[in-house]
Structure 1
Amino acid sequence: MAGPEVQVVVAHRARATLRVGDVFLKVDPDRAGIDAEVAAMAAVAVPTPRVLWREHPVLALERVPGTALGTFGGATPVGAAAWTAAGAAVRSVHETPLRAAGAEAAASASVPSADRLDDACAWFAARGLLPDGVLERNRRLGQQVLGSPRRAFVHGDLQPDHVFVDEDDRVTGVIDWSGAGAGDPLLDLAVLTLGHPQHLGDVVAGYGRDVELPAVRAWWAYRCLTAVPWLAEHGFGPPETYPETAVLLRDGG
């Protein structure tokens, strides 16, 4: 009898993730990155995938139960209560002591860079992917996150398909900690709601703290502007089809 098929979850030049039944295999040549990911999962007070084994460059993780909040650019299969529970889980992540997580140093993806924003805007301008006015408005929004004094332990890539909940709207797992480290906590809230702005209020309600909503929207712009060139250069298809491009058009129009 045939065993489970091998499914490619994501693959690019930096790393790849495969699924075989209920086991996920992350292939990453960066040993330090894998070490940091395992340390992050051990430090946070939210459910994370169980480490089955690791043998460089492979990390084997057990599948977490539940349903993902949704996909970026797609519909969400869960209601407002699940998004509120996710907001509470994000607050718990941000309460993780940086020293305990071994994350005193900032994760590069979590720290906004003026050079990276300028390079991304030049990339867009050279290709004419956005109307000039839309690009300029998003550039101005993205500049608002530069030099942010906010600092906490962050997931770094908290997309809605990285958060799983059960039928009782309890968070059952948060996956993909490869970008975890010190950074602006509003980045996590922004990435989580980027494609589902209608649930920003639900997430903030669960987060239970005052949140600068304009800063979240500024992170939407920065994240999309800087992500699209990277995705295009790593073979993710035509950039005009990306949900990130749709967000830039949505918020910069």
Structure 2
Amino acid sequence: MDDVQVVVAHSQRATLRVGDVFLKVDGDPAHADVEVRAMALAPVPTPAILWREPPVLAIAAVPGTALGVLGEPSTASSAAWAAAGAAVRRLHEAPLPPWSGRLNIDDLAAELERECAWLLADGVLPAEVIRRNHEIARTALRPWKPVFIHGDLQITHVFVDDDEVTGIIDWSEAAPGDAMFDLAILTLGHEERLDDLLEGYGPGADRDVIRAWWSLRSLTASRWLIEHGFDPDAPGCEFDVLRSQGSQG
């Protein structure tokens, strides 16, 4: 009998692995609805859906290994990163999914102010680091042409084998949105791999906006991570991203 492995678990959802099957348990059926619809529409490799019995969605494991993990250097080759960039480009050039996006400039601006105020009050980072990242983050708050984005394109969600993308997982945040957001989330904490990613992605990427999303994402996610048992101050994670960004002119 296969062991049951807890991949991730917090108050909103949990993912378990049993052999080659992943069981995603989510109290909000809308997340699974989006995931199933997005995987059907995305022109990139995605996991096979085995069955769905709310609140559980069962999907098959994809072959290969993740590009890396946050907080550790990626051992994937430059060619693998370029292949990931090409896959993201195919997604961004696909027709928009027929539901609305959650990335709204006004809402993001309000969230940025709220989370920066919390970080300052809590004293978890020097005020100057927060101030500098707030300044950088505002560059992302500009009009963008919506594209089909993954919406949670963490480095652990892209699998490769022999320098080819074999699967992209966790599509519950997919929606129309800013292309630079996906590129930023995939390279968060891995700035040194941005050139490789963009080699495959091709023209049109805005490095200043990608950098802005690194700051915006790290500022706005930190409180949620702390409150759900994660450590944004682990080496190479969100606080290190903010310190690095804040040290740049």
TM class by shorter-chain length?
over 0.9
Deviation at 1:158, TM superposition (A): 0.6
Amino acid at match of 2:118: W
In 2, Cα distance between the equivalents of 1:199 and 1:173? 19
Amino acid at match of 1:17: T
* Alignment pair present for 1:219 and 2:213: yes
Of the candidates 105, 109, 119, which is equivalent to residue 114 of structure 1? Answer: 109
Amino acid at match of 2:12: A
**What is the TM-score with the length of structure 2 in the denominator?**
0.94
Of the candidates 205, 228, 233, which is equivalent to residue 234 of structure 1? Answer: 228
Amino acid at match of 1:27: V
Runs (5+) with no aligned partner, structure 1: none
Residue in structure 1 matched with residue 67 of structure 2 by the alignment: 69
In 2, Cα distance between the equivalents of 1:227 and 1:234? 11
**What is the CA deviation profile of residues 22-65 of structure 1, one whole-angstrom value per residue up to 9, with x for unaligned ones?**
00000012112211110000001110000000001000000000
User: 1:87–1:205: 8 Å Cα contact kept in structure 2?
Assistant: yes
* Alignment pair present for 1:132 and 2:127: yes
Residue in structure 1 matched with residue 34 of structure 2 by the alignment: 36
Q: CA RMSD, aligned part only?
A: 1.6
User: 1:110–1:187: 8 Å Cα contact kept in structure 2?
Assistant: no
In 1, Cα distance between the equivalents of 2:80 and 2:70? 16
In 1, Cα distance between the equivalents of 2:78 and 2:131? 33
Residue in structure 1 matched with residue 176 of structure 2 by the alignment: 182
Cα 1:60/1:111, change in 2 over 3 Å = farther
Identity %: 53
In 2, Cα distance between the equivalents of 1:11 and 1:144? 33
Residue in structure 2 matched with residue 157 of structure 1 by the alignment: 152
Deviation at 1:102, TM superposition (A): 2.5
**What is the TM-score with the length of structure 1 in the denominator?**
0.93
Residue in structure 2 matched with residue 201 of structure 1 by the alignment: 195
Deviation at 1:249, TM superposition (A): 0.5
User: 1:112–1:146: 8 Å Cα contact kept in structure 2?
Assistant: no
Where has structure 1 moved over 4 Å in runs of 4 or more?
Answer: 108-112
Amino acid at match of 1:204: L
